[in-house]
Amino acid sequence: MDSTLQLPEADDRSLRLPAHGTTVTAEDLRVRFVLAADLDDTIEVDASQVESVGQAVLQLLVAARNEAAANGQGFRIANPSQAFVNRVNSCRLAAAIGLETGDVL
């Protein structure tokens, strides 16, 4: 199980969600969101490798998007995996995290 988030390459500022987003990985993710909010105009979250995503990570995504909006920052989910899309839609959180899937909820 991947318990830590990978650090981005020097020229890649996106936040990559881990394959298995759990309560354990949520703390690392929270720190990364704080840093991204301080450094970037738009927070981009790469969800391409997600196989499962838990409640703590979903809560962080909702909170991060709300914070970004309050601060006039962009927030974007990039390359969401089908597992990520399915989980977000089943929790009815697509609008709350800004996931544009084209699916009718």
- 53-96 pLDDT tens trace: 999 999 999 999 999 999 899 999 999 999 999 999 999 999 99
User: CA-CA distance, 50 to 17, in Å (whole number)?
Assistant: 6
Q: Which residue has the higher pLDDT, 46 or 8?
A: 46
**Helix extents (H) in the chain:** 23-39, 55-70, 82-90, 94-97
Residue type, 31: V
In sequence order, which residues have a C-beta less than 8 Å from that of residue 3 and are 6 or more positions away?
A: 18, 22, 24, 25
Whether residue 23 contacts residue 52, with contact meaning beta carbons closer than 8 Å, is answered with no
Q: Is 58 left (phi over 0), alpha (psi -120 to 50) or beta?
A: alpha
Residue type, 90: S
Q: Has this prediction a pTM greater than 0.85?
A: no
